[in-house]
Amino acid sequence: MILAHVNWQAVGAWMALLNFIAVLGLAAYTRFVSRSKATQDQLEALGNLIGHHAERLGILESERRHAPTHHDLGKIYNQLNGATQEMAELRGTLAAVKPQLALVSEHLLEQARRQS
């Protein structure tokens, strides 16, 4: 009887040690798999974000083609300067006409008073 000479306490200790090693291995594997999944999820989210930014960048680049160039802005600036000069001339003309209009208005009011 071979089983009679077996030290069951040593076998129990070895089995406990093997069980402990197996649990440690399982814990390490679980940690590795969960970190791998988390990393994969983060990479997927980052890929979605990059795709969204690429789409927005494409829209901006296509809209940039319709924006006025430096030359176009120069033309607009020159036209605004011309309009500003014309407005200044009109202001000067109106300033000169205002006193004359006041005199005509005063003359007409005096004539109206004399007739009444």
Task: List Cβ neighbours of 76 (8 Å cut-off, separation of 6 or more).
Answer: 68
pLDDT of residue 1: 58
Instruction: Report pLDDT digits (tens) over 44-103.
Output: 988 888 888 888 898 888 888 888 899 999 999 999 999 999 999 999 999 999 999 999
In this structure, are 7 and 58 located in the same domain? yes
* DSSP label of 4: G
C-alpha distances in Å from residue 42, one per residue of 31, 49, 102, 112: 16, 10, 79, 90
In this structure, are 79 and 37 located in the same domain? no
- Of 51, 67, 83, the residue that ends a domain is 67
Asked whether the whole model's pTM tops 0.85, one would answer no
CA–CA separation, 70 vs 61, rounded Å?
Answer: 17
Range of the domain at 95: 69-116
In this structure, are 2 and 58 located in the same domain? yes
Q: Which two tokens stand for residue 52?
A: 């969204």
In this structure, are 30 and 79 located in the same domain? no
Radius of gyration of the chain (CA): 47
In this structure, are 18 and 56 located in the same domain? yes
